[in-house]
Amino acid sequence: MKKILVLFIFTFVTLGIKSQSVMGAWEGFHTSENGEKLKSVVIFSEGHQAIATFDAASGKFISSNGGTWKLSGETMTEKIEFDTNNPDRVGSEVSFDIVIKDSMLSIVGSDMKFKKIDDGTPGKLQGAWLMSGRVREGEVQSRDTSRPRKTMKILSGTRFQWIAYNTETKQFMGTGGGTYTTINNEYTETIEFFSRDDSKAGLSLKFNYELIDGNWHHKGLSSKGDPIHEIWSLRE
């Protein structure tokens, strides 16, 4: 009887932790001082996270920040790798308490609330990836992913965001994101925001994708219509 009770408690706690996991994508809405309805989407992958805020109607980019994260009890600690509003925060750590209940994530001491929109499924590319190379004229041109200048793409089960930044200079070069699907080796992005060109919001792009030795090979046409063959590697 005692063993059964212990097993029940262990199973209950395990399921409770799983159901309260931050992994996946969350969205929240608020109104700006100018009366604009803004949308924020935060993506948590294993050890990495990114949040982007943009105009819900037009897709106009507002801000983004992100980096690494860890959760101890209810305390979230993030190490900032990029921050469009405050670059001086890059390299620093911030901690705050969160509460997750009924698929809602609240940040204690603020009015920020986010609704869970996926748990890391069903897309097959969930995780944080760094661009590690390109293929040009049949030749692989590798890129050192340990250098400060990074291009990261972070995906949940339905959402994606890419970010180009430099952790050493604290420079932010650009970002874009939206929804994605992976069906029959076809990867389709639908852009909701693009910091370099708001007019790209609503555009859908289709690519061929393949996982080779754990690396993501991404082939197709860029938003400018240029042919690309990128190689992405999962962050450790």
pLDDT tens-digit series, residues 94-131: 999 999 999 999 999 999 999 999 999 999 999 999 99
For the purposes of burial, counting CB atoms within 10 Å of the CB of 219, is it exposed (0-12), middle (13-18) or buried (19 or more)?
middle
pTM: 0.89
Length of the chain counted residue by residue = 236
pLDDT band at 138 (very low <50, low <70, confident <90, very high): confident
State how far the alpha carbon of 155 is from the alpha carbons of 15, 125, 127, 137, 230, in Å. 24, 7, 5, 29, 16
pLDDT band at 76 (very low <50, low <70, confident <90, very high): very high
Q: What is the CATH number of domain 22-118?
A: 2.40.128.490
Concatenate the DSSP letters of all residues of 24-51 into one string.
EEEEEEEE-TTS-EEEEEEEEETTEEEE
Asked whether this chain's domains 22-118 and 127-234 adopt the same fold, the reply is yes
pLDDT band at 6 (very low <50, low <70, confident <90, very high): very low
pLDDT at residue 175 is higher than 60:
yes
Pick among 2.40.128.490, 1.10.10.10, 3.40.50.10320, 3.90.110.10: CATH of 127-234: 2.40.128.490
Domain residue ranges in the chain: 22-118, 127-234
Report the 10 Å Cβ neighbour count for 163. 24
